[in-house]
């Protein structure tokens, strides 16, 4: 299953008219505040317009209309009312917002810490056990997870609509956010800070799994040494984010499909023809900008240092199977 398609099913259905389904302990609080502001705005909009219409009628000029010609200078009670009431509304909004802000800023001390590194254009996750995943964050359900985030290049922003979380990810400093996902499923991650050509392809997903599945996943990630190369390649395709941009069924995505790639003779943006052999594939992974496929933007991030030699060999063997 491709968990990082452009619009993940988590964003559709199930939610309300305004929001996708809320899937953390904090999300309902955020939504309530939103609804409160929304309905307060609608109520004051309607109230104000009723007064405007009433005054239009009441002060309409006509020779017989006495009120229309009377000049009103001051009205202390009225001025106090229209200062105090909006201030009170603002205070209530501030208070509720501040409580939410405190909540989201103060992770429980038993939270599992996961490091997030953002880079043009991908998300990398480092788990306490030493595992790394790219493009997909895997977490156990009903457990507090704290993300410690930084960027290797420009400002990005981690945005998970179902969790009502959006936090800037900034170079040279750490930002933090935490959540407690309360339903198993796949949830969309977006980058919410324009960060260059590949910004819209900087997608990811959060996979919330049961505690047992989380343990199982950790074990699977650690073992890999004994997998046949092509199976390892398929695993890398799904777990290191290649599936965000490359399809295996011929359909176009941000990058070229992998179907029929192996051994093919295809055109680069500078007009040269290249045969997709081992060296070309390896170069494409470690130095994607060296040769850019014609018709595509040079948005693929380098995977130098992120894939082992064996994993690169695995991709090569997997590509051979996708002829």
Residues that bind ligand HEC (CB under 6 A): 121-122, 198, 201, 240-242, 244-246, 254-256, 261, 276, 281, 284-285, 288, 292-293, 296-300, 303, 315
Is residue 148 left, alpha or beta, with left meaning phi > 0 and alpha meaning psi from -120 to 50? beta
> Of 181 and 195, which has the nearer Cβ to Cu ion?
195
**Pairwise CA distance, residues 23 & 31, whole Å:** 12
> Of 10 and 313, which has the nearer Cβ to ligand HEC?
313
Tell me which residue of 122, 131, 316 sits closest to 217, measured CA to CA.
131
Report 143-202 residues binding Cu ion (CB under 5 A).
Answer: 156, 191, 195, 202
- What, of ligand HEC, Cu ion, none, does residue 122 touch, CB below 5 to 8 Å by kind? ligand HEC
State the binding string over 203-232 for Cu ion (x if CB under 5 A, else -).
Answer: ------------------------------
List, in sequence order, every residue forming a beta bridge with 274; answer none if it has no partner.
266
- What, of Cu ion, ligand HEC, none, does residue 191 touch, CB below 5 to 8 Å by kind? Cu ion
Q: What is the dihedral of CA 230, 231, 237, 239, to 10 degrees?
A: -150
316 contacts Cu ion (rule: CB under 5 A): no
> Of 166 and 266, which has the nearer Cβ to ligand HEC?
266
Tell me which residue of 104, 108, 107 sits closest to 96, measured CA to CA.
104
List, in sequence order, every residue forming a beta bridge with 134; answer none if it has no partner.
124
Least spacing, CB of residue 199 vs Cu ion, in Å: 5
Least spacing, CB of residue 4 vs ligand HEC, in Å: 9
> Of 189 and 242, which has the nearer Cβ to Cu ion?
189
- What, of ligand HEC, Cu ion, none, does residue 315 touch, CB below 5 to 8 Å by kind? ligand HEC
Chain centroid to CA 254: how far? 17
List, in sequence order, every residue forming a beta bridge with 149; answer none if it has no partner.
116, 175
Query: Is 120 exposed, middle or buried, given 0-12, 13-18 or 19+ CB atoms closer than 10 A?
Result: buried
- Residues of this chain that interact with Cu ion (CB under 5 A) are 156, 191, 195, 202
């Amino acid at each position: 299953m491709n968990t990082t398609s452009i619009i993940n099913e988590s964003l559709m259905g199930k939610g309300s008219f305004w929001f996708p389904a809320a899937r953390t302990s904090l999300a309902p609080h955020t939504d309530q505040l939103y609804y409160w502001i929304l309905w307060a705005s609608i109520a004051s909009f309607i109230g104000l317009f009723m007064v405007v219409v009433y005054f239009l009628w009441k002060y309409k000029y006509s020779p017989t209309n006495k009120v229309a010609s009377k000049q009103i200078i001051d009205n202390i009670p009225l001025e106090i009312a229209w200062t105090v009431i909006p201030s009170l509304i603002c205070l209530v909004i501030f208070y509720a917002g501040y409580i939410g802000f405190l909540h989201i800023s103060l992770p429980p001390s038993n939270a599992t810490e996961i490091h997030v590194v953002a880079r043009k254009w991908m998300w990398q996750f480092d788990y306490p056990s030493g595992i790394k995943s790219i493009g997909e964050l895997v977490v156990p359900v009903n457990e507090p997870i704290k993300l410690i985030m930084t960027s290797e290049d420009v400002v990005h922003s981690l945005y998970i609509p179902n969790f009502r979380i959006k936090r800037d990810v900034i170079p040279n400093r750490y930002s933090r956010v935490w959540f407690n996902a309360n339903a198993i499923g796949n949830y969309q991650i977006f980058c919410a800070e324009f960060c260059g050509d590949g910004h819209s392809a900087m997608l990811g997903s959060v996979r919330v799994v049961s505690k047992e599945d989380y343990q199982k996943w950790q074990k699977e990630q650690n073992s890999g040494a004994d997998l046949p190369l092509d199976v390892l390649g398929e695993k890398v395709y799904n777990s290191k984010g290649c599936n965000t941009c490359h399809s295996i069924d011929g359909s176009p995505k941000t990058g070229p499909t992998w179907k029929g790639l192996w051994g093919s003779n295809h055109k680069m943006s500078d007009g040269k023809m290249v045969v997709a052999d081992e060296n070309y594939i390896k170069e494409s992974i470690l130095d994607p900008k060296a040769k850019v496929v014609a018709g595509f933007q040079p948005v693929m991030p380098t995977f130098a240092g992120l894939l082992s030699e064996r994993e690169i060999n695995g991709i090569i063997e997997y590509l051979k199977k996708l002829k």
